[in-house]
């Protein structure tokens, strides 16, 4: 067994936004390395198929339809993981969307959805996992921010605000959970090939984002490897933040 796997095998990992992109790639990657993955997303057919694929290869997986904007559904996902597998070692709060637009366009519905998924969804994941991890005196909470959580550009004010919030929340959490030996990690990807650009509702902006991603985006496995790196450290090592981009990305 290689060193990377030693602290991944046997861990129970809950992943939101697991029906595509970062979540899907990470579920496969961790399952191949012996983790038990519990998959949450709104598209039940997609996560059921992924769970079936993983178990068909001898892995451990379970899927439950989950809308992260509903705290009760997120709680149900985490509780199902604990009930089925006895514990939760890691939660990856990955579900997110990126409906970019200038503030002057006043796309209030997009703003609400961004806050509900990108901020509240992360908070609901923390709220669901924390009592179990406190009881276990162990666990790791991995929250997905973005390069946009480190810098903002025109059209990205609300999205960048949401991803900055993820970083702030996670840093506050890091300081609060020391008594229970819980680790916290922020992962901030740049352009990674996912369905995220499809959440842009403004056609002209969507076209530009699509062209940018087509030119520079890297595989979602890059994110999965970052997760595995943070997870696989000895329990006394807390990788708090990883920021990565495609080598070609200048933004």
The end-to-end CA distance of the chain, in Å, is: 38
- Count of positions (residues) in the chain: 251
- Compute the Cα dihedral for 112, 76, 182, 232 and give only its sign: negative
CA distance 35 to 10: 5
CA distance 171 to 240: 8
Which are the catalytic amino acids? 159
């Amino acid at each position: 067994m290689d060193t990377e796997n030693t602290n991944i095998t046997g861990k129970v990992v809950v992943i939101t936004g697991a029906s595509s992109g970062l979540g899907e790639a990470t579920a496969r990657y961790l399952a191949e390395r012996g983790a038990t993955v519990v998959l949450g997303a709104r598209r039940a057919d997609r996560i059921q198929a992924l769970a079936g694929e993983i178990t068909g290869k001898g892995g451990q997986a379970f899927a439950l339809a989950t809308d992260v904007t509903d705290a009760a559904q997120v709680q149900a996902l985490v509780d199902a993981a604990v009930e089925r597998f006895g514990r939760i070692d890691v939660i990856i709060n990955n579900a997110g969307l990126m409906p970019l637009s200038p503030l002057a366009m006043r796309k209030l519905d997009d703003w609400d959805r961004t806050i509900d998924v990108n901020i509240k969804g992360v908070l609901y994941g923390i709220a669901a996992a924390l009592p179990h991890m406190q009881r276990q005196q162990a666990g790791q909470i991995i929250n997905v921010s973005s390069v946009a959580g480190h810098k903002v550009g025109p059209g990205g004010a609300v999205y960048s605000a949401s991803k900055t919030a993820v970083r702030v929340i996670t840093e506050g959490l890091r300081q609060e959970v020391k008594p229970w030996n819980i680790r916290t990690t922020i992962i901030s990807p740049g352009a990674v090939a996912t369905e995220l650009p499809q959440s842009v509702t403004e056609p002209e902006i969507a076209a530009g984002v699509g062209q940018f991603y087509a030119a520079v985006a890297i595989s979602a496995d890059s994110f999965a490897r970052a997760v595995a790196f943070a997870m696989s450290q000895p329990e006394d090592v807390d990788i708090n933040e990883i920021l990565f981009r495609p080598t070609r990305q200048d933004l």
